[in-house]
Amino acid sequence: MSLATCSTCGNRYQRDEPWKRTCLPCWKKRKRAEQNSAPGTSNELLKARLEILKLQAELSVLRLATTRAIEPGMLAQLIRLCHPDKHGNSQGSNKATAWLLGQRSGVLQP
């Protein structure tokens, strides 16, 4: 062990490892400050949760707007025009009709 001078406060301390540059009280003080500013503190966590709630609300509004993008009269006409009975029960007409019916009921489908 050797005596060394703390690079933070200037006090002398017993250095038992060559890589140590600060005294124990200064090291503890620095570690406490790092822990308080680390992400994951309650303040940062609260901000993140509020941001999540805000984004979820925006997503709900966008989903509702997407659902209502086709006006009801046009939606009914589109369902009649693409109905499988008029297109030989084709796979495409079944898929399109199912999607349009989902839009009418407010269920979003990809």
Q: Quick: pLDDT tens for 3-16.
A: 999 999 999 999 88
- How far is Cα 82 from Cα 69, in angstroms, rounded to an integer? 18
What are the average pLDDT values for consecutive 10-residue runs of the chain, which has 110 residues?
89 90 92 74 83 94 74 88 91 92 68
Helix (H) or strand (E) segment spanning residue 21: none
In 1-110, at which residue ranges do the beta strands (DSSP E only) sit? 2-5, 12-15
